[in-house]
Structure 1
């Protein structure tokens, strides 16, 4: 007789939080963006790490939240953004895209 909750073997495994370094230029942009409460909380809980003149924000979240934040900073990829912002977004995109794809997606 088991006392634990039944586990559905067909259910996808829950995504585990991953810590990624977000360039400061991306974090600054997202702080001014209209974010969902969960995204805002994730950003607020990030740890600032000084890097030379700038900084990175170490953000710990499940990969789905990292992908949502990446989608929110899409405007940094257009021609109106300054080159440093475009580069910062590309760096964060590379880190997010290196995460394993969600099972079943």
Structure 2
């Protein structure tokens, strides 16, 4: 599944202890957006959720409003993808049962 991750989060994850995350980021390409950029990352939904968990530090005390917003946007994108996947699975299972 491909989900765009904002550049601020991608930069934070460049030093991730997980080689899988670093590899997923390396396969993306930067898309310039006004003041920043986004990076489309193709990975399993569980990897996107892991990446979001590693970015949680950007929402803590002393974090910037840009970091909190980037985290929130990525979390919303993952939540939307999760809901869409669940609906597709439900539709597929009801279709197979007919």
TM-score, with length taken from structure 2 = 0.79
Matched, 1:23 2:6: yes
Gaps of 5+ in 1: 1-17
Following superposition of structure 1 onto structure 2, how do residues 72-83 of structure 1 map, counting pairs within 5 Å?
72-83=54-65
Deviations 1:35-81 (A, max 9, x none): 31111110111111010121001111110110010011010111211
Gaps of 5+ in 2: 87-98
* Counterpart position of 2:52: 70
* Counterpart position of 1:100: 82
Alpha-carbon shift at residue 95 of structure 1 (Å): 0.5
**Partner Cα separation in structure 1 for residue 82 and residue 70 of structure 2:** 21
* Counterpart position of 1:90: 72
Matched, 1:57 2:75: no
RMSD of aligned Cα (Å): 1.6
Pick from 6, 10, 23: which aligns with 1:41? 23
Alpha-carbon shift at residue 22 of structure 1 (Å): 0.5
Local SS of the residue matching 2:82: coil
- Could you say which structure has the larger radius of gyration? 1
Q: Between Structure 1 and Structure 2, which shows a larger proportion of helix residues?
A: 2
TM-score, with length taken from structure 1 = 0.74
Local SS of the residue matching 1:59: strand
